[in-house]
Structure 1
Amino acid sequence: MCGIVGVVSNTPVNQLIYDALLLLQHRGQDAAGIVTQLERKFFMHKAKGMVKDVFRTRNMRALPGNCGLGQVRYPTAGNAFSEEEAQPFYVNAPFGVVMAHNGNLTNADALKQEMIQLDHRHINTESDSEVLLNVLAHELAQSSDHGALYPDAIFAAVRAVHKRLKGSYAVVALIAGHGMLAFRDPYGIRPLCMGRSKDGTVMVASESVALEGTSHEFDSDIAPGEAVFIGLDGSIRREQCAENPQLYPCIFEYVYLARPDSTMDGISVYQARLNMGETLAQRVAATVPVDDIDVVIPIPESSRPSATELAQLLGKPYREGFVKNRYVGRTFIMPGQAVRKKSVRQKLNVIGSEFKGRNVLLVDDSIVRGTTSREIVQMAREAGANKVYMASAAPPVRYPNVYGIDMPTKDELVAYNRTTEEVRDIIGCDALIYQDVDAMKQAVGLLNPGLSGFEASCFDGVYVTGDVTADDIYRLNGQRVMTEEDDADASRLSLPNSREA
C-alpha cells in the first residue's frame, strides 16, 4: 500500500505535490519521491524516509516544471532498504516515461521473464512496480504510430496492459512531452480519484483528502479499468479500457488504511467506520452482559469512530484511556518484534483513572498478530482494570493479502486455525468480540449500492481476481520486504495509522 499523486498545472507543481504527499503520509513512510517535467526533461528526487525529511529546500528548487507526480512508499515486495526501489521509476524509451504505482502484481515474476525474453527490456530491481512500468512502456511503443503518440494509442496501450497484468494497481505516469496518464485495475482494488482547482490544475491522488487539502474540488473516482489522459494543456480524455470491469475495493481501506476524512468509491471512510461500530455493538450485546461494561475505550486512532458509535448504542460512557505519543516512529517500520513490543509502551500511555476499578471494553480496528493487543490488555490490567474486554471492528484476519497490503503469512496471524476463545486466551482479555464478515460487508456496502462487492481476502480467503493459488501465496510470501536484520518477523503490518496489531 502506497500513496500516489499526479498534477498537471499552468504553474510550478513541486510545492503542490509535496503538500499532497504530506496528506497521504499515512499510506507509507518508508520512502518518498517526486518527479517533475520541464519541457521534455524530467527532474527527480527520491530517498528513504518521511516526506518532511526527504525534501529540503535545495531539493524542491531542483524540481521545476508545471506537471509532475509523487509517491510515498509502503513496500510489500522487494527490498525496503534499497533507495533504488523508491518510486517514481523512470524508463527512457519510448518517449521517456516515469511512473508511480500503488498495489501489487501477483504475476510479476512471469512478467519479468516476458520482459527479458520476449520484449528485450531490462529490469534492474526486485520491485513489481518497475516491471509494470516496463510493460506499460513496451505497450506504448507497440501502439504508437511510427513514433507519434495520440490519446487513442495510449488507451490501446492500457488495454494491452490490462490483459497482461494480474493483481492490483492504481497508476499515475508522465509521458515526456505528452501529458499524464492515470489508470486503475479492472477490479478497482486500490483507490484513485481526480479533482480540479479553480485555476485549472488537475490532480489525481489515492485519496480525496489529498485533493481537498490542496484546494481541489473532487471530480470523480477513476473507475475500475478506466484510463484518464490529461494533456499538458489540462485537457482530459477518459476511456474504459478493461473488458469486464467490476468494482471490488479493498475493504481494509475502510477498516484501517485510509484517512477518516476521505471518501473513496462513493463511501465516506468515517461513515463506514461508524457503521462498523453499529454492527459491532450488536455483537458485543450478544456476547457480554452490557451492564457489566463500565466504559468504552478506543485504541487510537482509527478505531475511534467505531468505538464512539458502539458506546452510544450500548449507552455506555466513551472515554479516552490511552494517550498516543505522535513523536515515536510508527511500529510497522521497526525491524524486529522485540522493538515493536517496546514501542507499544513508548507510543501509548494509559490514563489510570479511566481504568482503575472498572470493567473496560477496549475497541480496536483489527487484530492481526495479537502481540500489540496482548500488550495493551496487560497495560489496562496494570492500570487497575477489574475486567478487560476486547472488541475488534474487523473480523478475524485469517488469510494473507496479496493485493498490496503486507499481511504476515498465515502462520503469523493469531486467528489462523484458532477459535475466538483460543485467541482470547492468547491476548489475555476476559472476552473477545469480533465483527462478523458478512455484517461488515453489508454495513459498508450500504453506503454505495453500486459496488459489485469487496476485496476482503484477509477475512474471507476469497481472492477476487480469481487467479491466486496456494502456490502464488507461497511465492509472494517469499518476496515480502527484506530487512537489514535477520529477524523472524519482517512484516510491515502494524500499518501506518496507529499500531502494529
Structure 2
Amino acid sequence: MYENGYNVEPKWKEECGVYGVFSRTEDVSGLTYLGLYALQHRGQESAGIAITDGAWMDVTRGMGLVNEVFRHQVPHMENQCIAIGHVRYSTTGSSLLCNTQPLMVNYSGGKIALAHNGNLTNAAEIRHELEEQGTIFQTSIDSEVFVNLIARSRAETVEEKIIESLKKIRGAYCLAIMTEDKLIGARDPQGFRPLCLGKTEEGSYILSSESCGLDVAGAEFVRDIAPGEMVVIDDSGVKSYPFAMNEKKASCIFEYIYFARPDSVIDGQSVHDARFMMGRVLAREAKFKGDIVISVPDSGTTAATGYAYESGIPFVEGLIKNRYIGRTFIQPTQKKRDTSVKLKLNAIRSVVAGKSVIMVDDSIVRGTTSGKIVNMLKQAGAKEVHMCISSPPIGYPCYYGIDTSVRKELIAATKSVEEIREFIGADSLHFISLEGLKSCVSEVNADDMCYACFNSAYPIADGEKPAGDSKYVFEQRKK
C-alpha cells in the first residue's frame, strides 16, 4: 500500500535506551559504557557512544551488543567531558549500520550528537517538508528529523533551537543530546518513555533511560525528568526548561509490565513492586489451582513469585533460560523470534512431569511463542498448563515505540480469550483485568498512564497513527 508517497508494508516497531554523562573529573565514556550495559535489555541490535572534549567530537557505533561493538576499546579522548550513548531496537528504519545512534552532525551553530528513544508520529510529514526545502537525509530513521530541525532553527541559543524543534514534534521521545559544552535531556509532553537524572559522589551528572543505569555507575538518583521538560547540564549545574508540561500525561504501562528492569524505579514506582503485585492480583482473579507456579523467565518471574505468595502454591523454576539469548518479543523479524524460542528456553522435566502447572508470563502478542512454550511443557510431561498473563489482551497497535504496531498480527485483535487458549494449547488462560493492572501501579496516578494497546484510547488524538505506519517508511518510496 501507499501512504503519503511512500510504499509501506506492515512491520513491527520496538524500543531503545539512552544514556549521558557530564563530568570534568571522571571517565565519561567508561561510565557510559557501563550504563549501556545496564540498559542492554532495551536494545540489542546496535550500540554507540559519542564523546567530546569541549572542542572535538567523535562517535563510535556498531551492530550488535555493547560488548561486541566495544570489543577492542571503549572510545576515549583526552580531557573528555561529555558522552552520550544509545542501544537500539529499530523503531523506524532497517537494522543497518547507517541507522545506528548516536547521530552526530556539524551545523552553523557547532557540533551536536543525539540519541533518541521512542517513536515520532509526525516524522514522515516533517521529513517530507524538509526534503521539499532541500534538506538531505543520511539515514532512514525518524530521529534524524530532530537534528535537521535543530540545525535549521534561527533561534539564538542551542536551548532555544532545541525547544523550538521539540514543539514541532509529536509522539514519544526521550533524548540525550550533546554539544561541545552541554549535556541536554528532554522528555516528551506525555512522558511515554522514562528518563531520569543522577549524580555521582564526584559531582558527575548522568542521564539514563532507567534508574538501573545510575546504580551501575555508583550514582545517586536525583529525580525523573518530567514530561514536557528539558534539562541542560553544564559547568554551572543543571537548569530546567519546561516546554510543554500542561499536556495530559500518558506514560507507558508496558515499562512496568515488561520493558524496564525489575530493579528500576520509574516516576516513583518500583518496577519490581508493580510486577509482584500483578502476580498477586492474577492469583485473586484467576483462582487457578495447581501443584506449582512457574514463570516464563525473566520478565514473568516477579509476577510469578507474586502469584505464588498470594496463592500459597510453591514457585519453582520449571523453565531454564539460556542467558546468552536475547528477548524473543523484540527480535526484529518473526523468523528470528521463532529460532530464538528454541534456543532460549527448555523445560526441566523432573520439575514439571506429572504436575498441574500454573505458568505466568507478561503478555501474549502474536501467540506463537506462548504456544511453543505450552507445547514444550506438555512434551516434558506436564499434566496441565494453566496460563496467567500480567497484561490485558493486546488488541490495538502501539505507535509510541513498542513492538505491537500492526493490528492484524495481534492475536487478541481477532480472537477471544477462549480462542487464544485453544490456539496456544493451554488448559486455562487468564489475562489480568485493566482495573486490576491499574491497582498495581499504586505510586503513580493510574490515569496518567497509556493503555491504548488494550483499549484504543490513544493519548495523541490528532496523531495517533504515524504517516506510513511502517518502520521502512523512509526507505520504500513510491516510484
Q: TM-score, normalised by structure 2?
A: 0.91
1:34 aligns with 2:49: yes
CA distance in 2, matches of 1:360, 1:452: 35
Q: Give the letter for the 1:477 counterpart.
A: S
Between the aligned partners of 1:405 and 1:356, the Cα distance in structure 2 is: 36
Deviation at 1:315, TM superposition (A): 1.5
Kindly report the root-mean-square deviation, in angstroms, between the aligned alpha carbons of the 2 structures: 2.1
Match status 1:466 vs 2:427: no
> What is the CA–CA distance in structure 1 between the aligned matches of 2:297 and 2:453, rounded to whole Å?
22
- The 2-side partners of 1:71 and 1:474 are apart by 25
Partner SS for 2:305: helix
Structure 1 residue 143 and structure 2 residue 158: aligned?
no
Rounded Cα–Cα distance in structure 1 between residues aligned with 2:466 and 2:423: 26
2:353 partner letter:
K
2:8 match: none
SS, match of residue 171 in structure 1: strand
Matched, 1:18 2:33: yes
The alpha-carbon distance between structure 1 residues 215 and 408, as it changes in their structure 2 partners (threshold 3 A), is same
Q: Is contact 1:324-1:348 (8 Å) kept?
A: yes
CA 1:260–1:243 in structure 2 vs 1: closer, same or farther (change >3 Å)?
A: closer
1:278-317 equivalence runs, <5 A: 278-285=280-287, 288=288, 290=289, 293-317=290-314
Hey, what does 1:421 align to over in structure 2? 418
Note closer, same or farther for the CA distance 1:358–1:220 as it changes in structure 2 (3 Å cut).
same
- Measured after TM superposition, the shift of residue 175 of structure 1 is 1.7
CA displacement 1:328-354 (0-9 Å, x = unmatched): 354356565454334323211111122
Q: Structure 1 residues 428, 480: closer, same or farther in 2, change over 3 A? A: farther
Instruction: State the distance in 1 between where 2:260 and 2:48 align.
Output: 20
Alignment-derived partner of residue 357 in structure 2: 360
SS at match of 2:314: coil
SS in 2 for 1:354: helix
Secondary structure at 1:173 match in 2: strand
- 1:277 paired to 2:279: yes
User: Does the CA contact (< 8 Å) of 1:36 and 1:43 recur in 2?
Assistant: yes
Superposed displacement of residue 172, structure 1? 1.1
Q: How many residues align?
A: 460
Determine the structure 1 residue equivalent to 2:261: 259
Structure 1 equivalent of residue 404 of structure 2: 407
The corresponding residue for 1:486 is: none
- Provide the residue aligned with 1:185 in structure 2: 188
CA positional deviation for 1:161? 2.5
Deviation string, structure 1 residues 36-80 (Cα, Å, up to 9, x no partner): 001311011001111001013445346861111010011111111
Q: CA deviation at 1:135?
A: 1.6
**TM-aligned CA deviation for residue 34 of structure 1:** 0.4
Q: Tell me by how many angstroms 1:356 deviates.
A: 1.3
Question: TM-score if structure 1 supplies the norm length?
Answer: 0.87
Report whether the alignment pairs 1:125 with 2:139: yes
By how many angstroms is 1:202 displaced?
A: 0.4
| Structure 2 gap segments, 5+ residues each | 1-14
Q: CA deviation at 1:481?
A: 10
Q: Which among 419, 435, 439 is matched to residue 438 of structure 1? A: 435
1:447 matched to 2:447? The reply is no
% identical aligned pairs: 39
Which structure has more relative contact order (CA 8 Å, sep 6+)? It is 2
Letter of the 1:432 counterpart: L
User: Which of 322-331 and 4-13 deviates more?
Assistant: 322-331
One-letter amino acid matched to 2:462:
D
Amino acid at match of 1:211: L
Match status 1:164 vs 2:179: no
Structure 1 window deviating more from structure 2 (349-358 vs 201-210): it is 349-358
The answer on 1:325 being equivalent to 2:322 is yes
CA contact (8 A) 2:358 2:387 kept: yes
Q: Give the counterpart letter for 2:460 in structure 1.
A: T
Q: Is the 8 A contact 2:53 2:77 kept in 1?
A: no
Matches for 1:59-138 after TM superposition, within 5 Å: 59-61=74-76, 65-80=80-95, 82-93=96-107, 94-118=109-133, 120-138=134-152
User: Which has the larger helix fraction?
Assistant: 1
Distance 2:30 2:127 in 1: 35
